[in-house]
Amino acid sequence: MATGTQELGQILPVDGIRIAAVSAGVRYKNRLDLVLFELAPGTRSSGMFTQNAFCAAPVVIARQHLLGSAGAARYLLVNTGNANAGTGPQGMTDAQACCQALAAGAGVDVQQVLPFSTGVIGERLPAERIVAAVPDALAALQVDNWLLAAKGIMTTDTRPKAVSRVVNVAGQKVTLTGITKGAGMIKPNMATMLAFVGTDADVDQVLLDSLLRSAVEQSFNRITVDGDTSTNDCCILSATGRSGVQISHADPVMFEAFSSALHELVLELAKLIIRDAEGAKKFVTVDVRGGGSSKECLLVAYAIAESPLVKTALSASDPNWGRILAAIGRAGVENLDVSRIDIYLDSVPIVKQGGLAPGYHEALGQSVMNQEDITLHVELGRGDVRELVWTADLSEEYVRINASYRS
């Protein structure tokens, strides 16, 4: 179950990146579960990782290797079916063994291999299966395997998620392509997913880090399905430089065009996660305006987006606006003046100045709630700050998926 169209548009290869997706039998036989990215020499990579204190062994190692190689990663090794989280020292040993096998097979330093895992928490990683599949992955590397990789990193996802953008300024052309996975255990704090974005632009390390942080903050860090932050989420941005087009503040037109394209791409990937949220029937935008600060706008937005009562009402297409009102009131905004608050379902006013909007009747709200895409719009009347958060409804299917996740 998912919302929106499955059409992805054209997914473009990125010069300097080759990809493979093979079956290693990590959890299931004959299923794509091992994805390998090969990054050309000279590629710079930046990463953002989960803030969960129980971060998985591959997260710890990927951070260390990215730092140790000064961003000069050559290979990204991704497995599904097993998170290698909550596995203690053995998990670190197993993740390192996979990195060492790939480094030996590819002839690179082990610190140039970054490992990533997703799947069940608390079970030992079958490293020997991954090690055995590394030669197959190296042999299968191709430039046009982005969509295959998007399928290979899926877990409870029902559809692959991939986006491409092209920047063309004064005859200088740059390509960006990204894939992501995630459907449940989705909550900001880096958001809960794996994401890999590549570009053939030439971007220095400091600027690359800055661009990734900015893009993630307004995209992957603005989505929530169930309020749970994973142990494994990571986002990697790799710039191969193969286009010969340098991105810097010295060329403000190209810089702005590239930055905008990157922000659009990762936001689209983040929205694809919400559209494929476990059991989702609704794609919901929570738009909070008139805040005195970003913090208080986000407090309100997440109180609404993560309220089980609001989310189940959305699932039932029930215009029970009292649940939205209650969520705003408990969000924790200091000195909240409820007499200034307006609430809308799309453009339909349901609350004005803290009370039922004049002229509102349930048929108006019902017409909006029957839609697949819905905006819950809140005006706080405290300032001029605005924040957007994207979420989904909470359905019986979500409960079924997560009740039987390990079976």
d(Cα 150, Cα 162) in Å, to the nearest integer? 7
Question: Between helices 88-106 and 127-139, what is the axis angle to 10°?
Answer: 20
- CA angle, 115 as apex, 229 and 112 as ends, to 5°? 135
Residue with tokens 């054209």: 10
The set of residues, in sequence order, having a beta carbon less than 8 Å from that of 120 and lying 6+ positions away, is 27, 81, 82, 83, 405, 406
5 an active-site residue?
A: no
d(Cα 353, Cα 148) in Å, to the nearest integer? 51
> What are the respective helix, strand and coil percentages of the chain, to the nearest 5?
35, 25, 40
Q: Contact at 8 Å (CB) between 164 and 179?
A: no
Q: Could you say which of 80, 87, 180, 192 is catalytic?
A: 192
Label residue 68 exposed, middle or buried (CB < 10 Å: 0-12, 13-18, 19+): middle
Closest CA to 290 of 380, 355, 227, 350: 380
Question: Between helices 205-217 and 252-275, what is the axis angle to 10°?
Answer: 40
Classified as helix, coil or strand, 111 is helix
Query: Greatest CA span in the chain, whole angstroms?
Result: 71
d(Cα 44, Cα 31) in Å, to the nearest integer? 31
- CA angle, 153 as apex, 203 and 221 as ends, to 5°? 55
Phi-psi region of 168 (alpha: psi -120 to 50; beta: other; left: phi over 0): beta
Q: Which two tokens stand for residue 97?
A: 């063994």
Beta-strand relationship, 283-291 and 385-392: antiparallel
Classified as helix, coil or strand, 130 is helix
Instruction: Point out the residues that are catalytic.
Output: 192
